[in-house]
Amino acid sequence: MSNQSLYFAFSKGERVRFTKNDYKRDFTNGEQGTITQVLQQDDDIRFTVKLDSGRTVSFYQSDYSDEQGRLQLVQAYACTVYSSQGATVDGDTFVLYTTAMDRAASYVAGSRHKDQCHWFVNGQELDAQSGQADKGQTPDMATRLKTLARCMSINKHKAMASEYIAEQKAEQETQQEASKQAELSNDNELAA
């Protein structure tokens, strides 16, 4: 968690996301909704939010803040790929793609929508990944698309060392079996 404070001005109609579980009021971290009312009441502010699930919740800023008084509510016009996992957007989505996104992140980002997904890609970043810029060449659209497909297909899943060891062992066994088969084949040819 960051020690940095951000300041938000909220108003009616604002899209928001809850950033802390509150089981007493029955809303959870990541849940989203639209503010239907913001009322100043003495030294506190009362929020009323219609959740995307259809329920309406109300709470005071003082009741939904951390120990430093920071409200656990943020604007929700954009979100990270990580926080969008499991969500479905009713309408279009807009994805800012970077080559740091692997196969899994690209899939999650591109599959949250009900209607259309619009991808925005930095051409200079793709050009750097294609290697053609290093040769003094200017990549064309076909090269950029090929580079994009390659970058989106990379699996950056981190595995445990034991998985690598098991994979290497299986590969060695396969190679040993292939060697034995080749020797048998050579022996059979010599015997014939």
**Cα 90 off chain centre by:** 18
CA distance 99 to 123: 11
Helix ranges (H only) for the chain are 81-84, 103-110, 123-130, 141-153, 161-191
Q: DSSP class of residue 177?
A: H
Q: Which residues pair with 74 in a beta bridge?
A: 17
% of residues, the chain, pLDDT over 70: 92
At residue 4, does pLDDT exceed 70?
A: no
User: Cα–Cα distance between 68 and 43 in angstroms, integer?
Assistant: 16
Q: Give dist(CA 143, CA 132) in Å, integer.
A: 9
Q: How confident is the model at residue 44, as a pLDDT?
A: 93
* pTM exceeding 0.85: no
Residues paired with residue 22 on neighbouring β-strands, in sequence order: 27
Q: Could you give phi then psi for residue 112, rounded to 5 degrees? A: -90, -15
Longest distance between any two alpha carbons in the chain, whole Å: 101
User: Rounded to an integer, what distance in angstroms lies between the CA atom of residue 48 and that of residue 46?
Assistant: 7
Q: pLDDT tens digits for 126-142? A: 888 888 777 878 888 89
Model pLDDT for residues 24-45, shown as the tens digit of each residue: 888 888 888 999 999 999 999 9
Which contiguous run of DSSP H or E holds residue 51?
strand 44-51
